[in-house]
């Protein structure tokens, strides 16, 4: 039996309607920006395997760091114990995060980093004896699939079966160009009419919504409004972190600083599941008390897994090399050239670039659904042509590993361009 036949006997895949979905592709090997399936067909991974892999598949440097850690101390519980990889990682991260970030809490994935952030925002006010229970989030946000993260997420596709079972979330419009004032006004009104604890947002780019982008000045303004009203701000950098926007963090474009940050995805270079939520001293202090009930009673078995920390440390060193920083500039330039070439195409209604992220919107008669026919035709076309891209409705985006070669990147552009001829 082939791997695919064996897969379909026992496995249940994410975001998949198994009755109608095409069979998965069995990947047996990866190197750099390339993946190979069981028939040895080659693919360019133009979305860095769901935005996790900046430094290339099967990266030797990260693998060596993992092996070294695995054979020194693979894991130890983090309740009542600590270890050097977690300490060094916290030191290194805090040195590059916005300067108000002082404390680091570990978990396992982007969703749990968001759960931790939302729980801390809610318990912060609980500990202070203040009734604030509403969380503010953007329309079409995506913050993950666990319950609080899902509550904060606004894409109905992911959450509609659970409506009515969520914590209290109020939504405001994203301040895209021309709609900034509407967003500011909505935020002021929401804060006035609710007991708001926190505001969670994807800074500058809403990934799962289709790489929707907005300006740092607008986010600065929203953060300022929150600060004026003592509403805690949470920057979900799970997607944008570690270089994707051209700076180390999207928040580096801001004049303001968020109170909390969520990190995952590229944290370990796409090797080991791990996430981090970071906090200001003021947030930590609200839990620091003689009363044990004021502590944060949250944890995961694999919290601060040393092997994950070692992978994260190796990843950070790679990101800091001048070669990797040069890649960010190279890919951005290349995206801007492609944008120029394609933006006037009759089938293209919008294009956007920030850092290594490129997105274009394809003209459609009706509004394209998230996993609709157009999306599936595009997806199949890309796969046939050996390029892994997962369009969101009528939006095609590219978010490659930073190590993608110029030739590979040009092939991705060419395939996207020819896809416009088939729609």
Ligand X SMILES: *Cc1c(COP(=O)(O)O)cnc(C)c1O
Q: What's the closest the beta carbon of residue 326 comes to ligand X, in angstroms?
A: 26
| Strands, E assignment, 216-268 | 232-236, 260-263
The residue whose two tokens read 């054979």 is 71
Only segment of 140-148, 244-252, 341-349, 395-403 that touches ligand X (CB under 6 A): 140-148
Q: How many whole angstroms separate alpha carbon 292 and alpha carbon 372?
A: 51
Distance in Å, CB of 205 to ligand X, minimum: 9
User: In the complex with ligand X, which residue's Cβ is closer, 59 or 140?
Assistant: 140
d(CA 335, CA 250): 18
Q: Which residue among 30, 144, 198, 203 contacts ligand X (CB under 6 A)? A: 144
Stretch that binds ligand X, among 37-45, 136-144, 166-174, 181-189 (CB under 6 A): 136-144
**Considering the complex, what minimum distance in angstroms separates the CB of residue 146 from ligand X?**
7
Residue 269 in contact with ligand X, rule: CB under 6 A: no
- Ranges of beta strands (E only) in 117-187 are 134-138, 169-172
Closest distance to ligand X from the beta carbon of 14 (Å)? 9
Minimum Å gap between C-beta 67 and ligand X is: 24
Asked whether position 202 contacts ligand X by CB under 6 A, the answer is yes
Cα first-last separation, the chain: 36
Query: Quick one: 264 or 278, whose CB is closer to ligand X?
Result: 264
Q: For 394, list phi and psi in degrees, rounded to 5.
A: -95, 10
Candidate list 34, 46, 69, 143; residue touching ligand X; CB under 6 A: 143
Q: Please give the Cα distance from 80 to 85 (Å, whole number).
A: 16
**Applying CB under 6 A, what is the total number of residues that bind ligand X?**
14
Q: Cβ distance 404 to 54 under 8 Å?
A: no
Nearest CB to ligand X, comparing residues 93 and 415: 93
Closest CB 272 distance from ligand X, rounded Å: 12
Calpha distance 271→277 (Å, rounded): 19
Q: State the DSSP H helix or E strand holding residue 89, giving kind and residue range, or none if neither.
A: helix 84-96
How far is 348 from 395, CA to CA, in rounded Å?
10
> Nearest residue by C-beta to ligand X?
110
User: Of residues 142, 338, 379, 402, which one binds ligand X by CB under 6 A?
Assistant: 142
Which residue in 356, 362, 418, 396 sits closest to 33, CA to CA?
A: 356
Minimum Å distance from CB 7 to ligand X?
A: 21
Distance CA 232, CA 44 (A): 40
Is 259 an interacting residue with respect to ligand X (CB under 6 A)? no
Maximum Cα interatomic distance, the chain, rounded to a whole number of Å: 67
Q: Which of residues 66-125 bind ligand X (CB under 6 A)?
A: 109-111, 114
Output the smallest distance, CB 141 to ligand X, in A.
8
CA dihedral 326, 313, 268, 283 (to 10 degrees): -110
Binding status of residue 209 toward ligand X by CB under 6 A: no
- Residues near ligand X (CB under 6 A) are 109-111, 114, 142-144, 202, 207-208, 236, 238-239, 264
């Amino acid at each position: 039996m082939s791997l695919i036949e064996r897969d379909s006997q026992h496995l249940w895949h994410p975001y998949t309607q198994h009755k109608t979905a095409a069979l998965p592709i069995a990947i047996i090997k990866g190197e750099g920006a390339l993946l190979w399936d069981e028939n040895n067909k080659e693919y360019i991974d133009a979305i860095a395997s769901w935005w996790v892999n900046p430094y290339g598949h099967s990266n030797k440097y990260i693998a060596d760091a993992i092996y070294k850690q695995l054979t020194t101390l693979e894991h130890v519980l983090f309740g009542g114990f600590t270890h050097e990889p977690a300490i060094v990682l916290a030191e290194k991260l805090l040195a590059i995060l916005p300067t108000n970030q002082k404390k680091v809490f570990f978990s396992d994935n982007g969703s749990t980093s968001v759960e931790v952030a939302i729980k801390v925002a809610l318990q912060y006010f609980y500990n202070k004896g203040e009734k604030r229970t509403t969380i503010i989030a953007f329309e079409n946000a995506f913050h993950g699939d666990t319950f609080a993260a899902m509550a904060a997420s606004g894409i109905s596709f992911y959450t509609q079966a659970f409506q009515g079972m969520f914590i209290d979330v109020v939504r405001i419009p994203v301040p895209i160009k021309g709609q900034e004032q509407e967003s500011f006004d909505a935020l002021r009104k929401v804060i006035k009419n609710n007991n708001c604890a926190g505001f969670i947002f994807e800074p500058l780019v809403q990934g799962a919504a289709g790489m929707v982008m907005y300006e740092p000045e607008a986010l600065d303004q929203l953060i300022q409004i929150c600060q004026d009203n003592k509403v805690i701000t949470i920057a979900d950098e799970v997607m944008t972190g570690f270089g994707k926007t051209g700076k180390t963090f999207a928040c580096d474009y801001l004049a303001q600083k968020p109170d909390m940050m969520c990190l995952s995805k590229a944290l370990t270079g796409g090797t080991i599941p791990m996430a981090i939520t970071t906090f200001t001293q003021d947030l930590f202090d609200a839990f620091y008390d003689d009363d044990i009930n004021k502590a944060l009673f949250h944890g995961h078995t694999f919290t601060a897994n040393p092997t994950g920390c070692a992978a994260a440390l190796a990843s950070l060193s790679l990101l800091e090399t001048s070669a990797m920083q040069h890649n960010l500039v190279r890919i951005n330039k290349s995206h801007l050239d492609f944008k120029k070439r394609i933006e006037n195409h009759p089938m293209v209604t919008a294009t956007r670039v920030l850092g290594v992220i490129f997105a274009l919107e394809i003209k459609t008669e009706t509004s394209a659904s998230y996993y609709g026919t157009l999306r599936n035709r595009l997806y199949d076309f890309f796969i046939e042509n050996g390029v892994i891209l997962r369009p969101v409705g009528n939006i095609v985006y590219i978010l490659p590993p930073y190590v993608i070669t110029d030739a590979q990147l040009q092939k991705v552009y060419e395939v996207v361009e020819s896809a416009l001829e088939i729609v």
